[in-house]
Amino acid sequence: VETNCGNLSKVKLTSPTALPNATGFLWNQNMVMQVNCRGYVNSLFMQPEPAKYSYAPNMEAKSFIQPEHSYFSHHPGRFFYLKDEDSGEIISLPYEPMRVQLDSFSFELADSHIAWLIEHRGLKIEVKVNLTEFDLVECWLFSVTNATDKIRNISVYPYFTIGYMSWMNQSATYNESLNAIVGDCVTPYQKVEDYFKHKDFKDKTFFLSDTKPSAWHANQKVFEGEGGLHQPTALQADLLQNVDARYETPVAVMQFKQKLLAGEQKSYQFLFGPAKDDAEIATIKEKYLGEQKLIAARKDYLAYIKQGKACVTVDSGNAGFDDFFNHWLPRQMFYHGDVNRLSTDPQTRNYIQDNMGMAFIHPEKTRQAYILAVSQQTINGAMPEGVLLYKDAELKYINQVPHADHGVWLPICLLVYLNETGDVSLLNELISFADSTEKQTFSRHIELALDYLIKATDHRRLSFIEQGDWCDPMNMVGYKGKGVSAWLSLATAYAITMWCDLCEEYNISVNQQRHEEYRLAAKMMNNAVNQHLWHDKWFARGITDEGRVFGTDKDVEGKIFLNPQSWAMLSGASSKEQQTKMITAISKQLITPQGAMMLAPSYTAMVEDVGRITQKHPGVSENGSVYNHAAIFYIYALYQVGQNDLAFDLLSKMLPSIDNAKVTGQLPIYVPNYYRGAYHQLPEQAGRSSHLFNTGTTSWLYRCLVEELCGLKGCATGLKVAPKLPSSMKQISGQRLFRKAIIDFELYQQSEVDTVEILLDGQVVTGNILGDLKAGQQYKLLVKLPIVEQ
């Protein structure tokens, strides 16, 4: 694996077998594709619910993208068979399905395209794919150069999976006027009302080329024949037999017979995607087919991805670290904020946290999102399970399960928006409710959410958990209506405190008496957690419907959970002394080379008063993986209590890098939702990446970089300077965009100073707030920090 920094970052993998599951991803508002280094692809588009156009060979259940996705030989992919007509040798590119060892291989991930550079027996091949800014189409370019001094006769056969489209009706054939293979189907349904919903579906899959093929094939089984995908029977003939698929599984294969003179290059352009009808395919063809059009589309798509530039760039001297924070993390954060993980009903907590990240990129989007979220609150204060993003969207899957935590996120995440923008006008926006046209200010919406949370507590003032809190699958702790959550009680106390602090800091006019009551409520909840859930060295996770306290040393499995410890630090429930004990217990039981596990030991059998989480495989997802979302809460909490070295150490462990790629199996272009845990139970699998790039981690990780590590955090009166450099990082420089001012900064530890010294454009700053930064102006900030001893 290699990376190179600079304006256009690229990550390269030079073997198809070293990290066989390594992937990159491309997306736009309407589709996403995850591309595996060996040629497999997972892709979906929105119509407006997620749908497929390149299917697996069997009927798939609809679900979110799976962790540790498994690839198999007939897995959907985009492959190219290549026949040397002179020697008869056949290979497949980029690697699957034939798995022939290639002379050289490079899988390259850039901002807005994914490419392979391959050499084999004197042929140089480049395969490149990009998406467009809005349309539903993959743009592929396949170029082959004869690098020898002899004439070469070859056949190129793109093999694009259409797959098992439908049990009702499916077919595919070559359409001459479009110069495309077009698969067609009827999305299966049984209810008559679905007919009307499906009527306008894009039930066609097209594979279109700029070059007329010598022959084609659209029938997967016949193409493969007895040889299998490894050695397809159809490739034995001089020419493909132009075979349709009539209710057989469709595929898109074309053959291009080509003579290449010495040094000659030949390129083929292909367009692949879903469409409603031939007219739509023709429109896409008109828009994107042709060299100039492709170049223009690539440029626009790059410009779209570049909109994800965030507010900080850093130079720490560690190229991998810088590249990740300057490039890949903002890119991933932008994906979350801009397209909401391509869901039409994102879970409310995800929506709010993903949009917290957007405050570092396009805060006006955060503003809109937060207004939309509270407009779906009911007048009793309850926040919805998910936020519906279009008129006919419905709450589905996990959003039909009652979770008790949705009210805490807005008061917690709102501060980032205010800090980045200073825009207090948001708080006075008048917004209606899901079940009432009555309008209330944004502030009032937040307070109604807090009132609801405060009421949703038991006689001890602990928060009911219903069928889950932040932890989705902790569904049986309180399903009978009694069980309570330590984490949610702490999160509620934290949300209340954040809200009261924010109002004070930003001078928001409030009902004083109400705010005093809020402060008191937060204190009482913290006290209740201490009284009922502190167990000697750490906080328990909750009390079940049966009254059993769990997440303590008495348990054999699930003894200690990370979240209650982190959030006790945030909410102010824990004393210094307790914190020391918690940190020690976490270090002993939860820390692994990839970071902090979410709980330990992982459950190995169902616990009926805890729930579905205990049925997940040990070390996977919430059952004790290094679940990065939980790990970043801990890191953020450590920063709040001054544990800067420890925070940085764990943050470094979380970052995907070239060094840990062998263990994680992924490339350093996104932070995954988890690394396998159960470190002591299943050490062999520990550390493996989930390869899932959907995760609430991104915004918090970026927040830690900007507000904590660099300590360049907005506040009511300007930009607060309070870096938290660890002992191992003696300096960091970079550029911070803040309310449209540009600040070039250098932060370094220096033995001459024993207190922080701040210079702005050479002038000493008293206090640590840069008060009157002007939009459009560029500044030079120098911060000298006392040396932090190891």
- Catalytic residue numbers, as ranges: 472
- Provide the minimum distance between the beta carbon of 689 and ligand CEZ in the complex, in angstroms, as a whole number: 13
Answer for which of 621, 660, 699, 749 binds ligand CEZ (CB under 6 A) is: 621
By beta-carbon proximity to ligand CEZ, the closer residue of 33 and 692 is 692
Distances (CA, A) of 676 to 18, 104, 586, 621, 622: 19, 32, 17, 8, 10
- Provide the minimum distance between the beta carbon of 70 and ligand CEZ in the complex, in angstroms, as a whole number: 16
By beta-carbon proximity to ligand CEZ, the closer residue of 692 and 741 is 692
Radius of gyration of the chain (CA): 28
CA 291 to CA 273: how far, in whole Å? 19
DSSP string, 585-611: HHHHHTEETTEE-SEESPP-S--TTT-
Q: Spell out the alpha helix ranges (H) of 464-590.
A: 486-505, 512-533, 562-571, 576-589
By beta-carbon proximity to ligand CEZ, the closer residue of 115 and 692 is 692
Q: In terms of C-beta density within 10 A (0-12 exposed, 13-18 middle, 19 or more buried), how is residue 60 classed? A: exposed
By beta-carbon proximity to ligand CEZ, the closer residue of 298 and 349 is 349
Site residues for ligand CEZ, 506-525, by CB under 6 A, read: none
DSSP string, 454-471: HHSB-TTS-EE-BT-SSS
- Provide the minimum distance between the beta carbon of 621 and ligand CEZ in the complex, in angstroms, as a whole number: 6
Name 786's bridge partners. 750
Answer for which of 692, 729, 743, 783 binds ligand CEZ (CB under 6 A) is: 692
Q: Is 398 in the site for ligand CEZ (CB under 6 A)?
A: yes
CA 197 to CA 480: how far, in whole Å? 37
Stretch that binds ligand CEZ, among 42-50, 104-112, 342-350, 740-748 (CB under 6 A): 342-350
By beta-carbon proximity to ligand CEZ, the closer residue of 398 and 716 is 398
Q: Please report how many Cα atoms fall inside a 13 Å half-sphere around the Cα of residue 322, on the Cβ side.
A: 20
By beta-carbon proximity to ligand CEZ, the closer residue of 613 and 770 is 613
Stretch that binds ligand CEZ, among 43-51, 344-352, 491-499, 704-712 (CB under 6 A): 344-352
Q: Is 354 in the site for ligand CEZ (CB under 6 A)?
A: no
CA 272 to CA 764: how far, in whole Å? 59
By beta-carbon proximity to ligand CEZ, the closer residue of 473 and 656 is 473
Q: Is 347 in the site for ligand CEZ (CB under 6 A)?
A: yes
Site residues for ligand CEZ, 638-677, by CB under 6 A, read: 673
- Provide the minimum distance between the beta carbon of 108 and ligand CEZ in the complex, in angstroms, as a whole number: 27
Answer for which of 450, 471, 525, 741 binds ligand CEZ (CB under 6 A) is: 471
- The DSSP symbol for 553 reads T
Answer for which of 355, 694, 698, 749 binds ligand CEZ (CB under 6 A) is: 694
CA 111 to CA 5: how far, in whole Å? 12
CA 546 to CA 609: how far, in whole Å? 8
Stretch that binds ligand CEZ, among 89-97, 302-310, 465-473, 564-572 (CB under 6 A): 465-473
The first and second tokens of residue 453, run together, are: 């949370």
By beta-carbon proximity to ligand CEZ, the closer residue of 340 and 673 is 673
By beta-carbon proximity to ligand CEZ, the closer residue of 361 and 488 is 488
The first and second tokens of residue 652, run together, are: 């470094």
By beta-carbon proximity to ligand CEZ, the closer residue of 128 and 349 is 349
By beta-carbon proximity to ligand CEZ, the closer residue of 166 and 492 is 492
- Provide the minimum distance between the beta carbon of 274 and ligand CEZ in the complex, in angstroms, as a whole number: 24
- The DSSP symbol for 789 reads P
Answer for which of 36, 170, 350, 643 binds ligand CEZ (CB under 6 A) is: 350
Stretch that binds ligand CEZ, among 55-63, 218-226, 227-235, 343-351 (CB under 6 A): 343-351
CA 55 to CA 172: how far, in whole Å? 14
φ, ψ (nearest 5 deg) of residue 219: -115, 105
Q: Tell me how far the alpha carbon of residue 726 is from its chain's centroid.
A: 27
φ, ψ (nearest 5 deg) of residue 357: -65, -35
- Provide the minimum distance between the beta carbon of 471 and ligand CEZ in the complex, in angstroms, as a whole number: 5
Stretch that binds ligand CEZ, among 6-14, 37-45, 441-449, 470-478 (CB under 6 A): 470-478
Name 436's bridge partners. 433
Answer for which of 268, 433, 470, 745 binds ligand CEZ (CB under 6 A) is: 470
**Number of residues this chain uses to bind ligand CEZ (CB under 6 A):** 14
Query: Which residues fall within 8 angstroms of residue 683, CB to CB, at 6 or more apart?
Result: none
- Provide the minimum distance between the beta carbon of 672 and ligand CEZ in the complex, in angstroms, as a whole number: 10
Site residues for ligand CEZ, 45-74, by CB under 6 A, read: 64
Query: Which residues fall within 8 angstroms of residue 450, CB to CB, at 6 or more apart?
Result: 381, 407, 411, 492, 495, 496, 499, 518
Binding mask 129-168 for ligand CEZ (x = CB under 6 A): ----------------------------------------
By beta-carbon proximity to ligand CEZ, the closer residue of 324 and 674 is 674
The first and second tokens of residue 706, run together, are: 């900007």
Answer for which of 203, 322, 345, 622 binds ligand CEZ (CB under 6 A) is: 622
The first and second tokens of residue 428, run together, are: 């006075």
Per-residue burial over 420-453, b if 16 or more Cβ lie within 10 Å, else e, is bbbeeebbebebbbeeeeeebbbbbbbbbbbbbb
Which amino acid, 462? L
Binding mask 358-397 for ligand CEZ (x = CB under 6 A): ----------------------------------------
| Beta strand 591-592 pairing with 560-561 | unpaired
- Provide the minimum distance between the beta carbon of 604 and ligand CEZ in the complex, in angstroms, as a whole number: 17
CA 469 to CA 487: how far, in whole Å? 8
Answer for which of 349, 367, 461, 736 binds ligand CEZ (CB under 6 A) is: 349
- Provide the minimum distance between the beta carbon of 349 and ligand CEZ in the complex, in angstroms, as a whole number: 5
- Provide the minimum distance between the beta carbon of 474 and ligand CEZ in the complex, in angstroms, as a whole number: 8
- Provide the minimum distance between the beta carbon of 630 and ligand CEZ in the complex, in angstroms, as a whole number: 8
**601 and 680 in contact (C-beta within 8 Å)?**
yes
Residue of minimal CB distance from ligand CEZ?
472
Site residues for ligand CEZ, 163-202, by CB under 6 A, read: none
- The DSSP symbol for 709 reads I
**711 and 722 in contact (C-beta within 8 Å)?**
yes
Query: Which residues fall within 8 angstroms of residue 588, CB to CB, at 6 or more apart?
Result: none
Please choose, from the candidates 390, 385, 445, 435, the residue with its C-alpha nearest in 3D space to the C-alpha of residue 414.
Answer: 445
Number of residues in the chain: 790
- Provide the minimum distance between the beta carbon of 540 and ligand CEZ in the complex, in angstroms, as a whole number: 18
Binding-site ranges for ligand CEZ (CB under 6 A) = 64, 347, 349-350, 398, 470-473, 621-622, 673, 692, 694
